[in-house]
């Protein structure tokens, strides 16, 4: 369970009262979070909300893109305003925000229909998102500078073979995305963390909301977002290889809204590797150099193995 900053019922009610919002009757932590502290807050009228304390995540970017993309009809779960039109108000010295509670849950084994839904969502975001976000700019918090800094930190503690493997992978991506074919792929706003547990499906199986926009950025390869989804949603059961049937469903749905360019098709294998490398690095640093004992560190070997599988495919 990840709760970097515990919050009691009394504390959240003081915060709600200051915002002239209804009193809560219960608060409970949400286990899936890694970067921030996330809670479910229940109110006496039966309504619930999601409370997020932004710990490592810069808060303004995520709440802004969620609101903007909701403006073109995308289910992005925009934040709740209080009676003074405020969204972010500090709680226990951390930026804090309420989001609507989605009547649904994330799905560990998405159906083909659900994979197609997220493919269409990504197509709509790639097609309409840039126009909706013309006045919004946010640097990628997990951009190339972060890759370089994090690789340097973990290489200092990795054994020789793993260190060499990581350094060689970094060299290939540095060349490909800076001056190779990857430099010319279409760019725009990305979610950059679109794992299955960041997508809520309603009880009838339909898409409810895409949540947790903490790693969003305004000018990144659109293909990178798609590759993150493929590496999480389209794996063969119990393995690290891609399930070609699932992958076809995802890509067909995305291309039905916005076809991939020839440059994107050429860059696809490297995009899959970049997406795997990003989460391999973040898990390595959290596992070997944790922030504190309150949080959890996910297994870095999972994405290490995905990365190796993508290099040989």
- Write down the mean pLDDT value for the chain: 94
The superfamily CATH assigns to domain 9-100 is Phosphorylase Kinase; domain 1 (3.30.200.20)
Kindly list the domain boundaries of the chain, sorted by start residue. 9-100, 112-312
Using 50, 70 and 90 to split pLDDT, how confident is the model at 290? Answer: confident
CA dist 282 → 34, 72, 110, 146, 225 (Å): 11, 32, 25, 10, 16
137 and 122 in contact (C-beta within 8 Å)? no
Per-residue pLDDT tens digits for 272-288: 999 999 999 999 999 99
Confidence of residue 1 (pLDDT cuts 50, 70, 90): very low
For 258, which DSSP code? S
Report, as an integer, the average pLDDT of 226-230.
Answer: 98
**pLDDT above 70 as % of the chain:** 97
Question: Which ranges constitute the DSSP H helices of the chain?
Answer: 9-18, 60-70, 112-132, 144-155, 160-178, 222-233, 244-257, 262-288, 300-312
Mean pLDDT of 53-69: 94
Distance CA(283)–CA(304), nearest Å, equals 9
pLDDT of residue 2: 64
Residue 218, H or E segment: strand 217-221
Contact predicate 114/201, CB 8 Å: yes
Mean pLDDT of 209-214: 95
Contacts of 109 (CB under 8 A, 6+ apart): none
| For residue 313, pLDDT beyond 80 | no
Is this model's pTM higher than 0.75 or not? yes
Task: Give the mean model confidence (pLDDT) for residues 111-123.
Answer: 98
> Per-residue pLDDT averaged across 241-263, rounded?
98
What average pLDDT does the segment 55-70 reach? 94
Contacts 24+ apart (CB under 8 A), 38-44: 38/2, 39/3, 39/7, 39/12, 40/101, 41/12, 41/98
Cβ atoms within 10 A of the Cβ of 83, count? 8
Q: How far apart are CA 29 and CA 3, in angstroms?
A: 7
CATH code of the region 112-312: 3.90.1200.10
């Amino acid at each position: 369970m990840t709760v970097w900053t515990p919050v009691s019922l009394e504390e959240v009610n003081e915060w709600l009262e200051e915002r002239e919002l209804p009193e809560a009757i219960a608060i409970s932590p949400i286990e899936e979070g890694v970067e921030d502290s996330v809670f479910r807050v229940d109110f006496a009228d039966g309504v619930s909300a999601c409370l997020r304390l932004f710990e490592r995540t810069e808060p303004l970017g995520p709440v802004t893109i969620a609101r903007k993309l909701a403006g073109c009809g995308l289910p992005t779960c925009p934040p709740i305003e209080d009676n003074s039109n405020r969204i972010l108000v500090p709680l226990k010295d951390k930026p804090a925000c309420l989001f609507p509670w989605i009547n649904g849950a994330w799905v560990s084994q998405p159906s083909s229909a659900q994979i197609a839904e997220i493919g269409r969502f990504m197509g709509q975001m790639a097609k309409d998102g840039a126009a909706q976000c013309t006045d919004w700019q946010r640097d990628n918090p997990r951009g190339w500078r972060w890759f370089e800094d994090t690789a340097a930190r973990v290489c200092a503690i990795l054994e020789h073979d793993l260190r060499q493997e990581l350094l060689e992978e970094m060299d290939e991506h540095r060349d490909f995305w800076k001056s190779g074919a990857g430099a010319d792929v279409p760019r725009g706003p990305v979610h950059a963390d679109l794992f299955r547990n960041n997508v809520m499906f309603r009880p009838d199986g339909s898409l409810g909301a895409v949540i947790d926009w903490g790693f969003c950025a305004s000018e990144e390869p659109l293909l990178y977002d798609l590759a993150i989804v493929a590496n999480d949603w389209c794996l063969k059961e119990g393995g690290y290889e891609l399930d070609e049937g699932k992958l076809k469903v995802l890509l067909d749905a995305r291309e039905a809204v916005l076809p991939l360019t020839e440059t994107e098709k050429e860059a696809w294998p490297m995009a899959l590797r970049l997406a795997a490398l990003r989460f391999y690095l973040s898990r390595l640093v959290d596992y070997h150099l944790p922030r504190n004992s309150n949080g959890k560190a996910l297994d870095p070997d999972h994405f290490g193995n995905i990365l190796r599988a993508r290099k040989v495919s």
